[in-house]
A and B are shown apart, each in its own frame.
Chain A
C-alpha cells in the first residue's frame, strides 16, 4: 500500500523488464509513450472510444488510456513494437501490408494489438466475428473492409502453417 502520489512499478514490456517511478495519475498510455518512449501506441481520443491506444495486457486487449501506469505493476504487456520478433514481422503485420489495410497508419497499432489478441483466442474466425472484434477501433481512412480481409487472411495463413 502506498500513500504517496509516486509509485515504483516493475513490469515486463515486450519481453523486457522495466522498473520506473510513476505518478499515480499518469495513464498507462502516457507512461509507455513518454517514459518508455514506445510511441507506437497512439492516443486518438484519450477517453476510451477510438481504440488507437490498445495494448495487450497478459493475453487481453485493453485501452491504455483507461488505465494508470501504476496499475501495470507486475503485469506483462505487449505493444505494437513487440509484435515482430527479431525484426521479422508477424503474419498479421504482413497481411496488413498485403491487403492495404492502412493508410495514414495512426490507428494501425490498435488494430494490430486487438487482432493479435483476438486471433489467439479465435484462430478460425468468421468475417462477422472479425468485424465484431474490431468494432472498438476506429479507422477513418480505410473503411475497414481491407482490415477485415487482412485479419481473415492472416488467420488462414497461420492455420495453414500449423498444418
Chain B
C-alpha cells in the first residue's frame, strides 16, 4: 500500500499555488491535511501526476472575526485549531461542539477544514455544519475569487462546486444571532468514525422564547448533507414542542433518499434520521447550547 509516483510542488504563496493548480488542472491534485487523500493514494484509487501541497502557503490558515461578527476560517486551518480556539467557541459554538466527533486527535492535528469540505464525504461533519450555518465558500483561482453558498457547494458524493483550477481558501460563517441555540447528534459505529447518520440544528429563539428560525441538517443519509426546509418551516409555524420535534424527525425521514451500505441499510438510516433530528432539537432546550459552548 504505497503511493504512486508524482511530481511535488510546495508553493509558498497563494498566488503561486493558484498558478500551479491552473497549470496542472488536468492531472494535478491539491494536498492539504491529506488525512483522506493520502489513503486514496496509498490504496491507488487515484494517481495524479502532480501534487500541489498547500501546507506551506502563507496566510492560508487561521480563524478570525469578520467586521459583521461572522467567523472567517481559512481553508488550511487544522481541525484541532478550530476545536481549541476561544474565538471559534465565541463566534460559532456549534463548530466547537462538533469537533470532538471529527475522527481522532492525530487526524485533527493534521486535517484541515478546507480539505474536509473539498473532499465532501457525505458522512463528514464539517460539510454538514457549514450547510447548517449557511456558510459561504470562497473559491480562489487565477481569475480571482468567487463566493459559493454552502447550499450550492456540495453537489454529490466527493463532488463540489470547485473547478479543477480552484482552491477553497476560506469558509465564512455568518454572525451568530442572540437567542440562537444549537444541537448536534450523530450515530457512528465507534466514536470518531464517520457518521452512519447525523444531524446538526440551529434554533433562533426570539425574546418571547418562540422559535423564530430553525435550520435542520441531516447528513450521512444521502449523497450530500441536506437541509430539511419543510421541517424548519413547520417548527417556525408551530413552535418547539416534544410533538413538533418528533414531527421534524418524521418529515426528515420522508425527505431523504438514503442508500444501503456496509454499515447500515437505507431503512436504518431512514429510521435513525428521525431520531437524530429529534435528539438534536431536544438539545436546544438546554441553556448550555446558547452563545458560548459549554
Contacts and interface: CB of A to CB of B under 8 A. Distances in A.
Tell me if chain B binds chain A: yes
B100 A46 contact: no
Interface stretch (B3-11, B179-187, B228-236, B237-245): B3-11
B283 interface: no
Nearest to B16: A1
A60 B109 contact: yes
B178 interface: no
B239 to A, nearest CB: 36
B106 interface: yes
Interface stretch (B32-40, B65-73, B205-213): B32-40
A66 B38 contact: yes
B107 A63 contact: yes
A135 B1 contact: no
A133 B34 CA distance: 21
A1 B8 CA distance: 9
A137 B190 CA distance: 13
A112 interface: no
A96 B41 CA distance: 35
B232 to A, nearest CB: 33
Interface string A45-78: 0111001001001001111011110110000000
Interface string A1-23: 11111010000000000000001
A7 B56 CA distance: 15
Contact of A63 (B7, B16, B51, B106): B106
B96 to A, nearest CB: 16
Interface string B18-45: 0000000000000000110011011100
Contact of A136 (B42, B100, B192): B192
B8 A60 contact: no
Interface string B127-159: 000000000000000000000000000000000
A114 B6 contact: no
Nearest to B11: A1
B110 A5 contact: no
Contact of B7 (A4, A46, A133): A4
Contacts of B106: 51, 54, 61-63, 114, 136
B191 A67 contact: no
A7 to B, nearest CB: 7
A120 interface: no
A60 B80 contact: yes
Interface residues of A, number: 34
B6 A25 contact: yes
Contacts of A71: 10, 53, 55
A24 B39 contact: no
B104 A135 contact: yes
Best-surrounded residue of A4, A5, A63 (most CB of chain B within 10 A)? A63
Given A3-B9, A70-B10, A71-B55, A27 B105 contact: no
A48 B55 contact: no
Determine which residue in B1, B6, B106, B192 has the highest number of CB atoms from chain A within 10 A of its CB, and name it.
B106
> Which of B8, B11, B12, B190 lies at the interface centre, i.e. has the most chain A CB atoms within 10 A of its CB?
B8
Contact of B8 (A7, A61, A62): A7
27 contacts: A2-B8, A5-B6, A7-B8, A24-B51, A25-B3, A25-B41, A27-B2, A30-B2, A46-B42, A47-B39, A47-B43, A48-B39, A48-B107, A54-B106, A60-B110, A61-B105, A62-B109, A63-B107, A66-B38, A66-B39, A66-B110, A67-B34, A67-B110, A114-B106, A135-B190, A136-B103, A136-B105
Interface of A: 1-5, 7, 23-25, 27, 30, 46-48, 51, 54, 57, 60-63, 65-68, 70-71, 114, 118, 132-133, 135-137
Given A2-B9, A68-B34, 19 more contacts: A1-B9, A1-B12, A24-B51, A25-B3, A25-B8, A27-B3, A46-B42, A54-B106, A63-B107, A65-B42, A66-B34, A66-B110, A67-B38, A68-B8, A68-B38, A135-B190, A136-B105, A136-B107, A136-B192
Sorted nearest first, the 8 A-B pairs with minimum C-beta distance are A136-B104, A24-B8, A47-B39, A60-B109, A46-B1, A66-B38, A25-B3, A61-B106
